[in-house]
Structure 1
Amino acid sequence: MRRRRCRGVAAIEAALVMAGLAPLLVLALNMGRLAINGAAVDRAASNAARFLSTVPLEILRDGSRRTVALDSARALIDQTLAAAAVDVQTLRVEFLCDPGNCNALLLTDTPSKVGVLVSVDNQAIVDFGTVPVTLAVYAEVGRDD
């Protein structure tokens, strides 16, 4: 009996299967990184909101001491995102107190809630010219003053 020569068929099949599965692998990597970065942004916003909820009202009402408190909250956000290796080049942070922005808090204002809005653009691991996905999280914590 003659032996059939089919040596190249397995290699062609493997190449076709790998060509179809490679984009799925890239998609899985990008989605995994998106989930990790999203969790880190959520954790950073929550940590900063919890920190700001413990700052006394006297400090939030005083302009110079308020700046120090908000800078500390921003440093907490930076540390949390750095621990997760999130690219912070496009990081945007906004601190919101109950009547409005925390930077514009008046001496007569008594905020019952403190919120932190953190957003960052998530770059894909393998970039195919796609637009980055913006991860935005708003965390709000009530005050007990």
Structure 2
Amino acid sequence: MKTVRKTSQRGVVAIETALLLLASFALLPFLLYFARLTLHSAVLQQASFSASRYLATLPREQIRDPALQATALGLARGLISEAVAGARLDTRPWAIEIECDDFDCNQMGFAGMPALVTVHIRLLFTDPVFFDGYTGTLMPYEYPLTFDAVQRYGN
């Protein structure tokens, strides 16, 4: 009869757990980077949609009057600023462009009514949390993001 030698397996689970935790902690900054990128994208896409929807539902009188039009454009920019402040996004600089039929709404001086209202948001997403050399070797420090929302003018 053969005897089977028992080998000691004590501590193997602890070593495997330590290796898995080490790999998990190494990937955690990348997971948080993409989570922040997704949060910024979702908030700004919704903000651009809300601003374009607001502008597309303005009454005709408000679009034709230059003073009321400037107020409405300011309110649309305010909607975007409130969304950014509400979500506590920390990305700067950013630019908001509002177009009416492919022209800047501020300079158009509407003779007629716009068929389309477009809101563009452009920004540079930065990583101030983990960019101290860790994610900077594999991920860009500044990542350009663009959000566009187009609505048909409905009034």
In 2: Cα distance, 1:131 partner to 1:109 partner: 44
Is 1:112 the counterpart of 2:115? The answer is: yes
Cα root mean square deviation, aligned: 2.3
Conservation of the 8 A alpha-carbon contact between 1:98 and 1:112: yes
Q: Structure 2 vs 1, CA of residues 33 and 99 (structure 1 numbering), >3 Å: closer, same or farther?
A: closer
1:60 aligns with 2:63: yes
Instruction: Report the CA distance shift for 1:131/1:54 in structure 2 as closer, same or farther (over 3 A).
Output: same
- Give the percent of matched residue pairs that are identical in Structure 1 and Structure 2: 29
Q: Which moved more, 1:103-112 or 1:73-82?
A: 103-112
Q: How many residue pairs get matched?
A: 140
Q: How does 1:9-20 map to 2 (within 5 A)?
A: 17-20=20-23
Q: Which has the larger radius of gyration?
A: 2
In structure 1, runs of 5+ residues without a counterpart are: none
Task: Give the residue type in structure 1 aligned to 2:130.
Answer: V
For the residue of structure 1 that corresponds to 2:141, the secondary structure is coil
State the TM-score, normalized to the length of structure 1: 0.81
* Structure 2: distance between partners of 1:70 and 1:17: 52
Q: Between 135-144 and 117-126, report the one with greater CA deviation.
A: 117-126
The amino acid across from 1:91 in the alignment is: W
Map Cα deviations across residues 1-49 of structure 1 (whole Å, 9 max, x no partner): xxx9x98x99887665544332311101111111111000001000100
- CA shift at 1:91, angstroms? 1.8
TM-score by length of structure 2 reads 0.76
Could you tell me how far apart the structure 1 residues matched to 2:91 and 2:22 are?
33
1:36 counterpart letter in structure 2: L
Deviations 1:76-131 (A, max 9, x none): 11111111111253121000111411112223132111110012222223114442
| 1:1-145 correspondence runs (5 A) | 17-124=20-127, 125-127=129-131, 128-129=135-136, 130-145=140-155
How far the C-alpha of 1:72 sits from its partner, in A, is 0.5
More helix as a share of residues = 1
Amino acid at match of 2:100: C
Tell me the secondary structure at the aligned position of residue 83 of structure 2: helix
